[in-house]
Amino acid sequence: MDRVKEKINLLKGELDKVTQRAEDAEKEVKKLQEENSTKDDEIASLQRKCDKLNEDLEATEANLKETQTKLNDTDIKCETLDRKITQITQERDDMEKKNEELLEKYNKLKAEYDAAMTSIDDL
């Protein structure tokens, strides 16, 4: 009978150890589940941030494309205006030269006219 009591006590001790290990394992499982839940929350948060950054990137790329198109259009207009300025400047230079030639002819003819009028008056 003592052996049975001793065996029961030994089994109770083992049962206490196994129960304690089971409780410790349950605590560890609960802790790991909480950590897993926290990590899932972090992953979801990072995924939302990533999605937002991707949306921002797409918007920025669209804006960049639009800006580049406007810049190209502006460059074309600028080149067109530069050519027009060059053309108008050349026309102005040509007109100034013609004006000088006409002024020179006018002065020459005026001098001839004045000389002729003086000659007529002297007669």
- Note the pLDDT of residue 23: 95
- Note the pLDDT of residue 5: 84
Query: pLDDT tens-digit profile of 75-118?
Result: 999 999 999 999 999 999 999 999 999 999 999 999 999 999 99
Q: Both tokens of residue 40?
A: 């899932």
* Position 121 pLDDT exceeds 90: no
In angstroms, rounded to a whole number, what is the distance separating the alpha carbons of residues 117 and 76?
60
- Note the pLDDT of residue 122: 81
Sign of the CA dihedral 37, 43, 49, 51?
negative
Q: Both tokens of residue 92?
A: 């102005």
Question: pLDDT category, 32, cuts 50, 70, 90?
Answer: very high
Query: pLDDT tens-digit profile of 53-74?
Result: 999 999 999 999 999 999 999 9
Q: Both tokens of residue 25?
A: 């394992």
